[in-house]
Structure 1
């Protein structure tokens, strides 16, 4: 039987992360739990978003397609960096997205051997519609907060992400 995974507070990979203050362990556990719930909901929404674009599309394919809609024509290396994955995943997903007629693949004019991936116009429309629906589902609860609370939440999440940067790269 394997040992349970360490909590964020116990994770030895976080030893290099500066701590500005010592916090109540129960409060830290609550934050950790709520972030976990948010991640699970986001994963579920990505799965639903992928299925709404095409029933055969996987979440990583949706994320790749979404990046292409956001960035325009993009090469495999840039997509791999954006999605924190390797080029083999990008190549597999590009084949799937191409077979589903969601992207086109063109030679990269700046690299004779490279290719640029681009979302098709129908895919772009689907992603934009899906993104709006997904955003409403995920962030619709912000309506319960006043404008100042939303700003504070955004600022706190930004600080949390910045503090986590050294630990996760």
Structure 2
């Protein structure tokens, strides 16, 4: 058996991975807060999941409910309820699919397009403003690492429920 190559990069420790996990948790908490604030800015009765759906149809244009569910990875029943709620709030309308009269596209109202656009541009300005204070190399590295993590993350369908739990050990500092 040969000795480990001292020039080879070491793998991350459980403590280092736990630190990344904590930072992702904090980021997700903040993102949920932003979605909640954005939803309330569009309409006081709009829920964050409704805002995500509304943002998708503002960004992509009219969509079938199934396409919305697939894109956002949200249960179809939740999408259906939220679409009814968006319609009741006057933020979305259903229009017939010209290729299939039985199917309906969901499209945003002009009011929704304006409201979501204003909120999105504010959030985008804030992100750009913060990242403009970083070096170009740091921003490029963040994008590269996020893309790598996104590509490596296993989807819920990929998890093997019968697989043994990994043993997590933390170093004593």
Which TM-score band applies after superposition, normalised by the shorter structure? 0.7 to 0.9
SS at match of 1:52: helix
Q: Does 1:96 align with 2:85?
A: yes
TM-score normalized by structure 2? 0.80
TM-score norm. by structure 1 comes to 0.81
Q: Secondary structure at the match of 2:82?
A: helix
The C-alpha deviation readout for 1:74-97, integer Å capped at 9, x for no partner, is 001100101111221111111111
1:42–1:138 Cα contact (<8 Å) kept: no
CA distance in 1 between partners of 2:132 and 2:67 (Å) = 35
What's 1:77 paired with?
A: 66
Q: CA RMSD in A?
A: 1.8
Q: Which runs of 5 or more residues in structure 2 are unaligned?
A: 1-8, 158-173
The counterpart of 1:48, out of the listed 20, 28, 37, is 37
Structure 1 stretch displaced more, 93-102 or 134-143: 134-143
Report how many aligned residue pairs link the two structures.
Answer: 149
Name the SS of the counterpart of 1:144 in structure 2.
Answer: coil
In 2, the alpha carbon distance for the partners of 1:103 and 1:138 equals 28
Per-residue deviation at 1:138? 4.9
Superposition pairs for residues 30-41 of structure 1, below 5 Å?
30-41=19-30
User: By percentage of residues, which structure has more helix?
Assistant: 1
Counterpart position of 2:145: 156
**Rg (Cα) greater in structure:** 2
1:24 matched to 2:13? The reply is yes
Larger relative contact order (CA 8 Å, sep ≥ 6): 1
